[in-house]
Each structure stands twice: as C-alpha cells, then as structure tokens.
Amino acid sequence: MPFNVIWIVEVFIAFVVALALHESAHAATAAALGDSTPLSNGRFSLAPRRHMSAIGTIVAIVFAMRPLILFPTGLGWGKPVDVDARRLRVGPNFGLILVALAGPLVNALLGFAVLFGLRLLPGYNALQVSFDRCSGLVGGGQLLQTCVSAAQNIAVLRVEQFLFAFAVSSIALAILNIIPLHPLDGYKILFALLPNRQAIRYRDFEPYMEFTLLVLFFVLPVILGFVGIPLNLGNLLVITPAYNLAGSVVGNLVPIFLLL
C-alpha cells in the first residue's frame, strides 16, 4: 500500500493544529514579555486562517502526500508573528530569542506528552502483542484492522492514529524551526545572536530564504538523484529524526499507525 489516504488527511489536519498552537505560543510569549502586537494582529488564536501561509501550506500538503515508504508527515510553516522587540521587557535580543523558542518548545512538549499519553489508553499493551502476530500483513488497511481488533476497536485505533500523527507533526515542526532561515524561528534566534553589523547583512538575504528552503527540500534532491546521490534533506534533517524520537516512545507501533 504505497499511499494511505486516511493517514494523509490526518497528518495534514495534525499539521494545521500544531501550527496554530505553535504560532499562538509566539503571540502569548510576546504578550507576556510586554508586546501586545501579536494579540492586536489576532495571532493568539486557534483559527488556522490567521496563521497559514500559502507556500508553507503547499509544502505541508506535498510532504503529507508522499508514499508511506518516505514517512509522510505534516511538515511546513506559517506566517511569521510580528513582534516589536523594543517593547519586550527583557531586552530586544533576549526577548526575540524567547519568543522564537516558544513555538518549537510548545510543539516538542505537546508532541512527547501525546506520545506518552498514548501508552495510557486501554488496550495499548495488548496492541504491542498484536503487532507481532499481524506484522506480516504488509498491505495494511482492512486486513490489519481486523487482525489487531482483538486488542482495540477501530474507533480507539483511529484516535490513536491521529494522536500519533499530531505528535510526529509537532515534533517535526519543532525540529524544522531550528533551521536558521526565514520564515523559520531559527532565523530570528540567529539574527538576535549575531553582532549588529553581521545581523544586518544576514537580514539582507531574508527575501531569498523561503525560496532557499524550497530548493533544499525539493530541487536539490532531484538534482542529486540524477547523479546517483540519494540525499533528501527534508528526511535527513527533520522527518527521520522526528519518527525516530516518536518511535523511541511508542516502540514498534509506528508501522501500525502508518498502515491502518
């Protein structure tokens, strides 16, 4: 089963929710530090339309629609939260760093909290045992559902599947935002850490950074593929680490969530 339509829908919805929480965390942190600009702009909200950007959303759709072998994930970005650094009580540079860190930190904490919460659901331990018996059903879908239904009914499995999608997407969003390119949070952190002259020169490249991200994630892998180099930076830097971290908590259940 190269594609799983249910998983595609779930990871995209999970991305939208994770992104809204991510951007709201920026807004709330800025407000707590003295700048109400994000609140005035309506960025402390769970309404997706206030946070989603056209390019970042398209990227998320593309990553969600990849074949299962490439671990489809809700991975993209939203509109940056505007902050007036002069109003931040802890100082402009340190304040910008704290505001920028708030989004990834909330995503990471929520992602791991959900993963550990999955272990508390009824039938979770029995599902681990069922996986060993059902692992030969590589086609997944209805056959896999029937096989593991003795451990958990399909309604609980679907809830678990979505929660896992949300957790992986949240962790991936946190990792992605370490990259120091606009519109990601790593850009603001690096900008605040650089000396004034270097920070201004770095900011001059801001209009080209989103395009650079697209080249790194989509164009470069194709070019390298033509010369026999199987390098996908999206997988290497973000998706594989996110799934590895999630797998360290849920163990061998990752294939079940992907194939259901």
How does pLDDT run across 33-52, given as a tens digit for each residue? 999 999 999 999 989 899 99
The 3-state DSSP class for residue 107 equals helix
Secondary structure letter of residue 3 according to DSSP: -
Which tens digit of pLDDT belongs to each residue from 17-30? 999 999 999 999 99
Which tens digit of pLDDT belongs to each residue from 78-89? 999 999 999 999
pLDDT at 136: 59
Domain with 161, as residue range(s), is 5-259
Vertex 72, ends 186 and 15: CA angle to 5°? 55
The count of domains in the chain is: 1
Give this prediction's pTM. 0.93
pLDDT band with cut points at 50, 70 and 90 for residue 67: confident
Tokens of 173: 């969003």
Burial of residue 223 (number of CB atoms within 10 Å: 0-12, 13-18, 19+): exposed
Which alpha helices (H) appear in 119-184, and where do they start and end? Answer: 124-134, 141-148, 154-176
